[in-house]
Structure 1
Amino acid sequence: MTRIAFLLVPGLHLLDLAGPAQVFSTAADHRHPYRLSYIADQPDPAPGAPGQDGVVTAQGLPLRADTAWPDLTPDDIVLVPGWRWATRRPHALPVSPAAARRLARHHAAGGTVASVCAGAFALGQAGLLDGHRCTTHHELQDTLARRHRRATVVRDVLYVTDDRVVTSAGIASGIDLALHLLAVRHGPGAAARAARSMVVYARRNGDEPQASAMLRHRAHVSDAVHRAQDLIDTGYTRPLPLGDLAAAAGVSERTLTRRFTAATGLTPLRYQQELRLERAQHLIGQGATLEAAARSVGFTDARMLRRLRSRPQPPH
């Protein structure tokens, strides 16, 4: 069971929280083992104020949450939603010192930390942006770069991943981040199913080389190609004859190849191989052997995987 622990601070944006929470909740409905937890943090209380067990969002909705942190394992994710920047005092700490230490400790133990929008400043407070690539809302990028000079702020992208530090831009980009994490852990088909259940227009291009292939190649408006991609996304580990893809798309094999290449820059086969490669790379990063990873994603042995890993990757 993977726990997604949301660290909630006063003034947080509802969609920063609700978007990723809905993605992982939907994944749990689809029998992926996720449990969601919510932790209230009070980083900058008024002098003499009593302890609280909730926060008020930027949209005025009060939220109740636990104040005690759950036990976390390296498989778990701690995610910090962003907040309304203008409501904070200029030099206020993003999160409490205790919460910052928790973030740092979780990452040091091998866990993943993530943020949406201004939540990146909490990761910075914990020292987790030093030496890493990161991003945030476009209106806060200059401030993040000034405050954390040892970080590399990647501008105007949806999300960035770097050594289990995952940061995203503002508000709705938290959905893209969560779908990416889902695709990395369970394959692009799982992310596609969650997106469809949420009625999400899951075709946003992150403009980020580490973005999931499923989202990276969905920045087009060809319905026929999207239908073929849906089939590949959910069945990329098995053989997918071009004729079957063309039939699902409602076009001829020649037309599908032409449209697919024009829309994504890849042939259907190359797209399937990219999904296999991305998943295999993740499995290898988690300790799987090359041979085991190759077989897990549908190759009969590791030779093709070796060739794919050695050849230049297409531009993103």
Structure 2
Amino acid sequence: MENQSKHRAFFLVPPEVQLLDIAGPAHLFYEANEYGASVKTHYLSLNTSSKEISSAGVSLGNLEEFENFSLNQDDLIFIPGLESHLFYNKNFIQQNQHFFTWLQKQHQQGAKICSVCTGAYLMAYAGLFNGKNCTTHWKYLEDFQSRFPKTKLLRDRLIVKDNNLYSSAGVSSGIDLALFLLEELFGPIFATKVAKEVVIYLRRTEQDPQLSIFLQYRNHLDNRVHLVQDILAQNLHKKIGIEELAERVHMSPRNLTRLFKKTTEITIGEYLDKLRVERAIQLLSNGSKVSSASTSCGLKSANQLRKLLKKHTASLPSDWKELLSQ
């Protein structure tokens, strides 16, 4: 692609930063540069120190002072998550009022302000989310809403965009947000190239839930049920009968059926349908044809997939009516 040097990407590095929150998006922009995007990157400190220690104990250096920069509509800044004892600390918030004022100014000048995980707290303390749609990590939803009642907090959303304000759920969702922004800046073909480079086969979007079905119903300690869930999730393109599943975990089909329902509170069939629906949404959102998506989900035809999706309309993007009517 053509050299485009007008864009700058800034990454705030607060004390005890969540390492993946910043490393994931930063690496995506590194790869974007390798493909010719030529985005100038800067790493900013909350104070005058040129070094911070992440929550994982990794030292991050060569940081620049945020107040040395003035951002515009061609720039973006990532605000990653940090340890909760900091954003719960009144002294920490008071000490960083200067940064919050600076962040407000960058927003007014049109820069894209992007939070990852609990980085949403810093944006909210700056007043940026007042009256705006946003999200944060699911563990902090109740606390966030109580602290910032003026925000329009959207639950179970992976990415939320409100004009030039962006927020994402947590940890790996920063990677999804980075791809989302790269697509806005340079188009879907370019974003897909970057995704493939870092071996991301399914790019998640605004429509994807924060708590994926691939993670839900896993909050239990029964290894046999976990194994069955792994087998189903990893082999959606295959038809695996209850007899084979039971044999893999050394149980009778009847006992496995009972155990699965008791442990997860849904049947194996219901769980499999939920897996297929979410995988189909991912594939279709990324441009796959209905026939191809149905095969990848272990279904015999496009019509069979449409029937399944119609039974789960509450899980579908609102603009999919035309697809289901075909």
* Coarse TM-score class (shorter-chain normalised): 0.5 to 0.7
Which deviations, in whole Å up to 9, do the C-alpha atoms of 1:238-270 show, x marking residues without a partner?
xxxx9xx999xx99xxx98668867989xxxxx
* CA–CA distance in structure 2, aligned partners of residues 55 and 262 of structure 1: 53
* CA–CA distance in structure 1, aligned partners of residues 166 and 20 of structure 2: 17
Aligned AA (2:72): T
Deviation at 1:177, TM superposition (A): 0.8
Aligned to 1:73: 72
Q: Does 1:31 align with 2:36?
A: yes
Which residues of 2 match residues 57-136 of structure 1 at below 5 A?
Answer: 57-64=54-61, 65-68=63-66, 69-86=68-85, 90-91=89-90, 92-93=92-93, 96-136=96-136
Structure 2 spans left out of the alignment, 5+ residues: 1-5, 210-276, 311-316
Change (3 A) 1:259 1:187: farther
Q: Does 1:220 align with 2:279?
A: yes
Change (3 A) 1:60 1:262: farther
Aligned AA (2:50): D
**Secondary structure at the counterpart of residue 93 of structure 1:** helix
Q: Is the 8 A contact 1:79 1:115 kept in 2?
A: yes
* CA–CA distance in structure 1, aligned partners of residues 306 and 37 of structure 2: 33
Change (3 A) 1:182 1:261: farther
Aligned to 1:139: 139
Change (3 A) 1:117 1:264: same
Change (3 A) 1:17 1:261: same
Change (3 A) 1:199 1:262: farther
**Secondary structure at the counterpart of residue 136 of structure 2:** coil
Q: Is the 8 A contact 1:10 1:56 kept in 2?
A: yes
Structure 1 spans left out of the alignment, 5+ residues: 43-50, 210-217, 234-241, 266-273, 275-311
* CA–CA distance in structure 2, aligned partners of residues 183 and 28 of structure 1: 14
Structure of greater Rg = 2
Change (3 A) 1:148 1:95: farther
Change (3 A) 1:156 1:259: same
Which deviations, in whole Å up to 9, do the C-alpha atoms of 1:13-71 show, x marking residues without a partner?
110001111111111111123111101114xxxxxxxx522211000011111125334
Aligned to 1:10: 15
Q: Is the 8 A contact 1:159 1:166 kept in 2?
A: yes
Deviation at 1:88, TM superposition (A): 5.3
Q: Does 1:314 align with 2:320?
A: yes
Change (3 A) 1:95 1:32: farther
Aligned to 1:174: 174
Give TM-score, length-normalised by structure 2: 0.63
**Is 9-18 or 154-163 further displaced after alignment?**
154-163
**Secondary structure at the counterpart of residue 140 of structure 1:** helix
**Secondary structure at the counterpart of residue 31 of structure 1:** coil
Q: Is the 8 A contact 2:176 2:203 kept in 1?
A: no
Change (3 A) 1:19 1:84: same
Give TM-score, length-normalised by structure 1: 0.65
* CA–CA distance in structure 1, aligned partners of residues 146 and 134 of structure 2: 13
* CA–CA distance in structure 2, aligned partners of residues 57 and 145 of structure 1: 26
**Secondary structure at the counterpart of residue 138 of structure 2:** coil
Change (3 A) 1:10 1:229: closer
Give aligned pairs, total: 238
Q: Is the 8 A contact 1:168 1:177 kept in 2?
A: yes
* CA–CA distance in structure 1, aligned partners of residues 203 and 182 of structure 2: 15
Change (3 A) 1:59 1:40: same
